[in-house]
Chains A and B, each alone.
Chain A
Amino acid sequence: MPAAQPEAILASRRALPRPPVAASRAVEAEGGCGVIGIASSEPVAGRHLLQALRQMRNRGNGKGGGIAAVGLDPAFFGVPARVLAEDYLLAIATLDRSVRSHVERNFVEPVFVVDHTAEIPLLAGAQASLGLDVPPPEVTCYFVRVREEARAAFGRAHGIADPAAADDEIVYQNTYRLNRELYASTGEKRAFVLSHGKDMLVLKMVGYGEDVIRAYGLEDFRASIWIGHHRYPTKGKVWHPGGAHPFIGMHEALVHNGDFANYASISSYLAQRQIFPLYLTDTEVAVLAFDLLNRVYGYPLECVIEAMAPTTERDFSLLPEDRRDLYRKLSAVHIHGSPDGPWFFLIAQSDPGSRSKRLIGITDTSMLRPQVFAMQRGSTSIGFAASEKQAIDAALESLAAEDPRYWSRADLFWNARGGSHTDGGAFTFTVEGRAGNGGTAGPGNGGTLLYCEDKFGKRIEPDATKRAPTGVVKPTGGRGPNPADIVEEIQDPVASFETIRARIPGWDYVEVANLLEELEQAARGGGDRLEVAALLTLLMDRRYSMGAMKRSCVLSMVDRAMLRVLEGARGARTGRCVWFESGAPAKDAKGLDSVAIVDGRGYPAEGPRSLARAIVELHGRGFRRILVFGVRGQRFIGCGLGPEVDGLAIDVYGSSGDYLASGMDGPAIHVHGSAQDQLAQIMKDGTLVVHGDVGQTFMYAAKGGSVFILGNAAGRPMINAVGRPRVVINGTCLDYLAESFMAGDPLSGGGFVILNGITFDEDGTMRDLESPYPGGNLFSLASGGAIYVRDPERKLTDDQLNGGEFAEMAAGDWEVARPFLEENERLFGIPLRALLTVGGRERGPSEVYRKIRPSRHKALLPEEGWVRPEG
């Protein structure tokens, strides 16, 4: 959409009354929050968002929650699809019923033709039943068009020719006036505009995000795009719904996790453009800046993102020349409007011109807030962005439970690299092809198309050659291509796995279902439960070809089988397995080989009755093997077990939460799947194996331990680690790997990181990543330890280092690294020989790996000569 006279639009705002309070400091203070966004080719009901928000409750404090929905269901409002698509949906919250006629008389009727009015029904007794501090506002939706005469007058007065631009600006200014008079003025807060864009609705209140869905009965309300937010404000005894997220621009709503430091600077940047915030929170200025760049200036999305999160440092220098020119100009003009500090924005947007809808996730340049993206593509397609992976898992699980078109695992999970030349730190999910529900069919499946692009327009696509099942997959009871022998050799799960690995490429989903059914049968007696679990674990953990089937679909089936196999231990009286669940009394181990099977689903995420404390208790009662399944974001697993724990093994299945293994000293923890943020902080000793990716600040200030990561680590892994941590990361890291690493001399007992820079495709084939480490600040200011990076093509360059230097991989280095790569092979099935094979030929370690070591630091001060070596 070309810009329609930005100067005229901005000039037209000069007549607006100024806010009663000047914006110099964000009065509303809050820190991080919980956010999730969903974009789906097929509209999704609110209850699935509810499930995700419920599980992220600990990211808010109940003082503000909100949702935005885009691509709505016209039936919900009782309007024809055309009205939903073409009218502005003016949603007004009233905190005081008596103000409604005033609102209509002064802010609706003079400006708009009202095609339809609908009230959002509020759950009876919502305040009491949801335990809310403040009653939720009453919400009226007006489907309106700008009056011809109002448009003509506005166009004449300000010289704005484009009717669509004039309409938008009229709506925008009308909202500003309403909010200023009835919300932001110093008196009683009476009413405010929740949203005014087309085909979109914002609802928010004082409470948790999921309370909003419950209070307004949105469980069955369907939308193509959802964003949800829990707020964590830390000031004030009295909260108002207007302060909750999302905040709106024009046809978009924004939620935010984080806070930034330059509120005053952005406010003055906006003031120079006749934009004045009314709610005094940093989130509001963020969306005002977005609207300015997007609508008023009409910048392409890439430029909007660049203006908000500029590409910096080495990444900037790696951009193509034309981009550098463009970005330099953007920075010159907009750097003062660029939020500085930790933030992650999720934006839900409708584009009335093209009738497409978008979910945009943008992370700050330094990636200081957690963020994860995901996508699943079958007969419908769905995309996610959230502050935690477990929230995405929760939404998918909720969807899969009632709709066979979804399954519980996403095809892809990934993190954005903020301010980078690779993905630009932003991803957009676009839903195209229909005008609201029931509109005309467009391209793609089910009449709509969902696709995901990074900032530069590069598509993110699951492997299109793989097919999801059509409809429900049920076992036929048949023995398919003979799983009987697999079940017969179950005492040797590794051999069984190898048999399956060889056969599964030729199977279909029914055959997989048949095998799983057989395995469940075998486990039912109880004798072989742990062996079946071990086989299912290998099916989950290993990367191998599944023929034409999607890995995520097969693994969703394996997950369900695993759940049933382990749930079978609940009533079992015989065998080694002892069942535990939240609230059940703890029991002593029956012997050294007793295995505690813990159903993680009912445990709170933290606190005295948390899963973490239950594990500590079980360890105290003599269990040496603990198998935890159904984990739903519970934090601190493996914390609190105490020093020098010997011979304890913990297996974790499901969506494990933050801080897993932090402080661990001795146990072995295997995470069967991806893990979240802050893993293995200050870890001292023991083994941590993650069959997937790990999140932010992994192994911060770790002292030791052996750690194996199958996938990638997000930002800031290993910062300030000391002592003797030995880590293998088979993928790569976003940024700041091993900053201030101080782990002695790797050749005499110190620590190191082996970075393999590989990935696996959908068929389980190992491939080299484009670069083993795409970022800068590698091994910055490190004084000890080393990084052994697999970089046969010598792609890494000196400018990625800061205080480190490349060196040859000497025989001594290989001697310390090799055992860890052999263990890596055993754990993940990544053959050492394959790692050393480049271009079809196996090479010597020094041809494939490079060492990064600290460059010589400043010579000792003369005075230090006084100190004897053994002080």
Chain B
Amino acid sequence: MSAIPLIVEKHRHALHAGFHSWPTLGFLPPALGDARWTPELILATWVQAEIGRPPRNGAEYRVGRSEGGFDLLGFRSVDSERRIPDSDPIDTSISLNRRPYDRKLEIPVPWYGAGMSYGSISEQIMLARAMAAKEWRTFTCTGEGGYPDSVAEYRDHVITQIATGMFGVREETILRAPIVEFKYAQGAKPGLGGHLLGDKATMAVARMRESVPWVSLFSPFPFHSVYSVEDHKKHVDWIKAMHPEALVSVKVSTPTDVDMVAVGSYYTGAHILHVDGSYGGTGAAPEIAKKNIAMPIELAIPRVHRFLSSEGIRDEIVLMASGGIRTAYDVAKAIALGADGCVLGTTELVALGCTRCSNCERGRGCPFGLTTTDPELSALVNPEWGRERISRLYESFRWQIEDLLRGLGIRSVRELRGRTDVLTYRAAGEAHAGRAA
């Protein structure tokens, strides 16, 4: 009899014990995290994924130490008498279709899960994310690597992504989806298509994508069928011709003319504009792309928000932001800058034990069984355990957003949108004047 199940069980046990005890040890593990995802932030996320609330030992769970971006933003403090009492309800839901036509769709929390492909992550992780999305009545996204049958059970909560390689995309997988996402670009490697290095294109991954095993899979940089906005409209019309009930999301990165891209997407009839800033992505992007291109998301959001507003079309399109949204506070800040909601990717992986070691491009590089399709490593994550962790993280996020809104005297997260007046900014190196974070 194979000893593998025993070995897997032993490792799993050790990992779970580690996720539980590291945050309690009172000292930080060596070589964990970086300035954006500080060790405290990673450990605090693990705690949230376990208890459904922020850590109570005073550990920092809201910002990192990057001295830039969301880490320099905070929220103003408000008089305590304007605080909304805990007995009053706070609305954290957002609408995903603000057009006067087509299906109305709301999610009870202002976020959904980002596209991570089968191949970039394991089937277990996809399942865990889909189960959590179902539990929270929000969404997760297939990414560009096919739609495993096991995930189809959660189809009402799964976005089908169509990206430039169209791997694993069939009419069938499009027809399953309440939302279809066109991924034109991603903030982690703008201007480039998806990469899955040969190491990760296992037999199973290749079968799902109907490609050749062990050969690196590069999605084309553009859609070869879309070289202009009128081609893009045709692309959107195609989805509507196949699946008239689907909402259409357009995911783009943040080039300097992201505002024009936004307006173009509006005119083609998209319901959701998903702007992906440059901090996001796993470690599986080329160095040159990871570090050098695209606009940080905190600059892109207000730019797009303001431009759409000045064009008089802001209230007809949903703006979702992603690319470096780590914490509930990041979500709130993105919304205060002008987004309707956020899309979470890496955060969910951190909840499942990711330490940001950036070995994601290797087939057997992920010691936690997350960004791998290796049959043994991926067995380290039990989908049910994963659902629980992501779900608890969501619970903590919602609690924090509610708490933050109460403190600001705002009853609905929809009213927070574009409220840059509630934000504070500190110059790098200075301490925060207002409320923490």
Chain A residues in the interface with B (C-beta under 8 A):
29-34, 58-61, 232, 234-237, 257-259, 342, 368-369, 606-608, 610, 612-613, 635-636, 639-643, 658-659, 662-665, 677-678, 681-682, 684, 696-697, 700-701, 703, 716, 719-720, 722-724, 740, 742-744, 781, 783-784, 857-858, 860-861, 863-864, 866-871
A60 proximity list for chain B (CB < 8 A): 230
Bound-state CA distance A659–B238 (Å) is: 7
Besides the known contacts A32-B229, A659-B234, A665-B172, 10 further A-B residue pairs in the complex with CB atoms under 8 A apart? A58-B233, A61-B267, A642-B171, A663-B171, A665-B170, A665-B171, A677-B225, A863-B362, A871-B202, A871-B205
Q: What B residues does A342 contact at CB under 8 A?
A: 227-228
Judge whether B242 is part of the interface by a CB distance below 8 angstroms.
yes
CB of B374 closer than 8 Å to a CB of A: yes
Which residue in chain A gives the minimum CB-CB distance to B243?
A: A640
Closest A residue to B310 by beta carbon equals A237
Interface residues in B282-321 (C-beta closer than 8 Å to A): 311-312
Interface residue from B167, B231, B238 paired with A701 (Cβ < 8 Å): B167
Contacts of A639 in B (CB 8 A): 171, 238, 241-242
Given contacts A639-B241, A860-B214, whether A682 and B169 have CB atoms under 8 Å apart is yes
Return the chain B residue nearest A736 by Cβ. B224
Least CB distance from A606 to B in Å reads 4
Q: Quick one: given A33-B230, A864-B363, are A696 and B225 in contact (CB under 8 Å)?
A: yes
Which residue of chain A is the closest to B174 with respect to CB atoms? A663
Q: Shortest beta-carbon distance, A731 to chain B, in Å?
A: 20
Contacts A61-B267, A720-B166, A860-B214; A664 near B199 (Cβ below 8 A): no
Distance in angstroms between the alpha carbons of A665 and B174 in the assembled complex: 12
Interface residues of B in 100-141 (CB under 8 A from A): none
Q: Which residue of A lies closest to B219 (CB)?
A: A720
Known: A61-B267, A722-B167, A740-B218. Contact between A678 and B225, CB under 8 A? yes
On whether the beta carbons of A861 and B230 are closer than 8 Å, the reply is: no
- CB interface residues, B 197-244, toward A, < 8 Å: 198-199, 202-205, 209-212, 214-215, 217-220, 224-225, 227-234, 237-238, 240-244
Decide if B364 is an interface residue (CB 8 Å cutoff).
yes
Q: Are the C-beta atoms of B234 and A860 separated by less than 8 Å? A: no
Chain A contacts for B209, CB-based, 8 A: 722, 742
Q: Is B375 an interface residue (CB 8 A)?
A: yes
Is B28 an interface residue when CB atoms closer than 8 A count as contact? no
Point out the residue from B170, B214, B237 that lies within 8 Å of A864, measured CB to CB.
B214
CB of B263 within 8 Å of the partner chain: yes
- How many residues of B are in contact with the other chain, CB < 8 A? 56
Nearest-CB residue, chain B, relative to A723: B210
Verify A867–B374 contact, CB threshold 8 A.
yes
A610–B244 CA distance with the chains assembled, in angstroms? 11
Smallest beta-carbon distance A368→chain B, Å? 5
**A867 with B363: CB separation less than 8 A:** yes
Alpha-carbon separation in the docked complex, A236 to B264 (Å)? 11
Q: List 30 A-B contacts (CB under 8 A).
A: A29-B260, A29-B264, A31-B230, A60-B230, A232-B228, A234-B264, A259-B228, A368-B227, A608-B240, A610-B241, A635-B237, A636-B241, A640-B244, A665-B171, A677-B225, A684-B170, A684-B171, A696-B225, A701-B167, A703-B170, A719-B220, A720-B219, A722-B167, A723-B210, A742-B217, A861-B198, A863-B362, A864-B198, A869-B203, A871-B202
Contact B229 A871, beta carbon cutoff 8 Å: no
| Distance, CA A257 to CA B362, complexed state (A) | 43
A870 touches B203 (CB 8 A): yes
Q: Are B229 and A232 in contact (CB under 8 A)?
A: yes
A704 (CB) vs chain B CBs: closest residue: B210
> Does B338 reach chain A (CB closer than 8 Å)?
no
Query: Per a CB cutoff under 8 Å, which of B172, B211, B237, B375 touches A606?
Result: B237
Pairs A-B, 7 closest by C-beta atoms: A32-B228, A31-B229, A31-B228, A663-B171, A701-B166, A723-B210, A636-B241
- Say yes or no: B171 contacts A861, CB within 8 Å: no
List, in ascending order, chain A residues with CB within 8 A of B174's CB.
663
Task: State whether the Cβ of B175 lies closer than 8 Å to any Cβ in chain A.
Answer: yes
What secondary structure prevails in chain A residues at the interface with B? loop
Question: A606-B241, A642-B172, A866-B364 are contacts. A234–B260 as well, Cβ < 8 Å?
Answer: yes
Which of the listed residues B209, B230, B237, B263 has the most CB atoms from chain A within 10 Å of its own CB? B230
Of the candidates A29, A612, A857, which one forms a contact with B257 in the assembled complex, judged by CB atoms under 8 Å apart?
A: A29
A665 to B170, CA, bound (A): 8
Verify A30–B199 contact, CB threshold 8 A: no
B93 to chain A, nearest CB (A): 28
A742 contacts B215, C-beta separation under 8 Å = yes
How many angstroms between the C-alpha atoms of A860 and B212 in the bound complex?
13
- A866–B364 CA distance with the chains assembled, in angstroms: 9
Q: Which residues of B contact A368 (CB under 8 A)?
A: 227
Set of chain A residues within 8 Å of B267, measured between Cβ atoms: 61, 234
- Say whether A640 contacts B212, CB under 8 Å: no
> Given A635-B237, A636-B237, A701-B169 in contact, is the A863-B228 Cβ separation under 8 Å?
no
Rounded to whole Å, the gap between the CB of A854 and the closest CB of chain B is 8
- Tell me which of B170, B198, B227 contacts A858 (CB under 8 A): B198
Also in contact, A742 and B211, with CB within 8 A (given A342-B228, A643-B175, A719-B220):
yes
Of residues B170, B205, B210, B374, which shows the largest number of chain A Cβ atoms within 10 Å of its Cβ? Answer: B210
Residues in B lying within 8 Å of A, measured CB to CB? 164-167, 169-172, 174-175, 198-199, 202-205, 209-212, 214-215, 217-220, 224-225, 227-234, 237-238, 240-244, 257, 260, 263-264, 267, 311-312, 362-364, 373-375
A608 to B218, CA, bound (A): 35
How far, in angstroms, from A258 to B202 measured CA to CA in the complex? 39
Q: Closest CB of chain A to B192's CB: distance in Å?
A: 14
CB distance from A611 to the nearest CB of B (A): 9
- Are A237 and B210 within 8 A (Cβ)? no
CB of B224 within 8 A of CB of A697, answer: yes
Say yes or no: B199 contacts A613, CB within 8 Å: no
Most B CB within 10 A of own CB, among A34, A235, A716, A870: A235
Contacting pair B241 A31 (CB below 8 A): no
Tell me which residues across on chain A come within 8 A of B171, comparing CB atoms: 639-643, 663-665, 682, 684
Inter-chain contact B199/A863, CB cutoff 8 Å: yes
B-chain residues with CB within 8 Å of residue A740 when the two chains form the complex: 165, 218, 220
Bound-state CA distance A664–B234 (Å) is: 17
> Given contacts A29-B257, A59-B230, A635-B237, are A871 and B170 in contact (CB under 8 A)?
no
Closest beta carbon of chain B to A262's beta carbon, Å: 14
Q: Are B165 and A720 in contact (CB under 8 A)?
A: yes
* Smallest CB separation, B183 vs chain A (Å): 13
**A32 and B215 contact, CB distance less than 8 A:** no
Say whether A784 contacts B211, CB under 8 Å: yes
Closest to B218 in A: A740
Please state if A722 and B210 are interface contacts (CB–CB under 8 Å): yes
- CB-CB < 8 A to B211: which residues of A? 722, 742, 783-784
Q: Which residues of A contact B244 (CB under 8 A)?
A: 608, 613, 640
A868 neighbours in B (Cβ, 8 Å):
375
Determine which of A237, A613, A784 lies in contact with B212 in the assembled complex, contact meaning CB atoms within 8 Å: A784
Residues from chain B with Cβ under 8 Å of A34 in the complex: 230
Cα–Cα distance between A480 and B260 once the two chains are bound (Å): 65
| B367: min CB distance to chain A, Å | 14
Q: Across the interface, name the chain A residue whose C-beta is closest to B265.
A: A234
- Nearest CB of chain B from residue A643's CB, rounded to whole Å: 4
Alpha-carbon distance A410/B240, docked complex (angstroms): 33
CB-defined contacts of B172 to chain A, threshold 8 Å:
642-643, 665, 684
- Are B364 and A783 in touch, CB under 8 angstroms? no
Query: What distance in Å separates the Cβ of A581 from its nearest Cβ neighbour in chain B?
Result: 19
Task: Identify the interface centre among A58, A640, A662, A696: most chain B CB within 10 Å of its CB.
Answer: A640
A642 to B173, CA, bound (A): 10
Report Cα–Cα, A684/B204, bound state, in Å: 19
Asked if A31 and B264 make an inter-chain contact with CB atoms under 8 angstroms apart, the answer reads yes
A863 in contact with B364 given A234-B260, A870-B203 (CB within 8 Å): yes
Instruction: List, in ascending order, chain A residues with CB within 8 A of B224's CB.
Output: 697, 700, 716, 719-720
User: In the complex, what's the smallest C-beta–C-beta distance from A614 to chain B, in angstroms?
Assistant: 11
- When chains A and B are docked, how far (Å) is the Cα of A29 from the Cα of B230? 12
B234 to chain A, nearest CB (A): 6
Find out whether the CB atom of B241 lies under 8 angstroms from the CB atom of A32: no
